[in-house]
Amino acid sequence: MSFSNNVKEELFKVLPQARHCRIAELAALIGFGATEVRADAFCFDNRMTGLKAQTLIYRIFKFESGEAAGRNLFTLRCSKPEMTEILEALKVKKGDSQIFSVDKQGQNIHNTLRNDIVPGMLVCTQTCCKRAFLRGAFLACGSLSDPEKDYHLEFVLKNEKQAFMLREVLSSLSVETGTVMRKKTYVLYIKDSEMIAMLLTLTDAHVALMDLENIRILKEVRNDVNRRVNCETANIEKTVRAASKQVEDIRFLASQPGFDELPEELKVTAALRLEHPEVSLSELAMLHPTSVSRSGINHRLRRLCELAEKAGKRRS
């Protein structure tokens, strides 16, 4: 099962205690998840969304909504009086042929076809209701990539009005999203792991949050190890290149007249470098018969390389 489905299964089991929070979550489920709102039924193309809506309808209104599962549709049937009560509770006014949404001042702001509802802002004026609303929104139209592969959470919405309204709710809770058009849908997305963790916290997906945090920690440790390994590899390569040049310069210098006249410490260092071309400067210092520091060895090798360079220039 995907990480996204695990999150949805966890959210499916979360039931708000307060009636106003239940109404807010139901508004999101119907507004973002219903493919059609008929005079006597809500239609969903996702069974989990429909079942959560059915549970909330019973807990809020005590209506025994009948369900009918078609090939690609999950339908909740209610009587017309029940439908009217539900839509009024969701702050959605139902006309003869249209659904009207209302803004937070209670004024009609637009009208749409029945399969294009935007939930009313009146249902999520409190922080607790906004959190419940987000839970319903994720169940209805959200998805989350496996954080092992990528950090990407998104909501796929039917129209610009829905995208604007959901973005406003998210922004009011300090969750910032990007927006992109995908075919004929509007997509709100989050790619920041901190923001994704915040949204999981807000929706009460605590198990998913723990899984995400564990993955984040493992990825950070893995990345840190990789950085250290890459750094050490680069240092080793640098040391090998430097040692190879030192060996090459010492061999050249040894073939030139006057090598035997060099100071004894330079000749000892040169002999040890030729005998141990793979060791580091610190290891080379430890091999010396007399006490010498790493910087001292480095100074001697630089001096040998400079002498080899001068001898090469004179020869050319």
pLDDT over threshold 60, residue 115: no
Angle between helices 294-315 and 206-254 (to 10 degrees): 50
- Tell me the domains of the chain and their CATH numbers: 3-204 (3.10.28.10), 217-315 (no CATH)
Return phi, psi of residue 224, to 5°: -65, -40
pLDDT, tens digit (0-9, with 9 covering 90-100), for 251-264: 888 888 888 888 88
**115/25: higher pLDDT:** 25
| pLDDT bracket for residue 117 (50, 70, 90) | low
Where are any strands of DSSP class E within the chain? Answer: 34-37, 41-44, 66-69, 74-77, 92-94, 99-102, 108-112, 142-144, 153-157, 178-182, 185-190
| pLDDT bracket for residue 270 (50, 70, 90) | confident
Q: How many angstroms separate the CA atoms of 92 and 165, rounded?
A: 14
Considering Cα of 267, then 268, then 269, then 270, what sign does the dihedral take? positive
Cα-to-chain-centroid distance, residue 267:
59
pLDDT > 90: percent of the chain = 39
In DSSP terms, which residues pair with 93 in a beta bridge? 100
Compute the average pLDDT of residues 291-307.
88
**Residue whose tokens read 């040890």:** 272
Of 254, 256, 277, which Cα lies nearest the Cα of 266? 254
**Residue whose tokens read 């969701």:** 90
Q: Are 147 and 3 in contact (CB under 8 A)?
A: yes
Q: How many angstroms separate the CA atoms of 282 and 263, rounded?
A: 21
Q: What is the per-residue pLDDT for 71?
A: 66
pTM: 0.70
pLDDT over threshold 50, residue 131: yes
pLDDT, tens digit (0-9, with 9 covering 90-100), for 22-79: 999 999 999 899 888 887 888 898 999 999 999 999 999 998 877 766 666 889 888 8
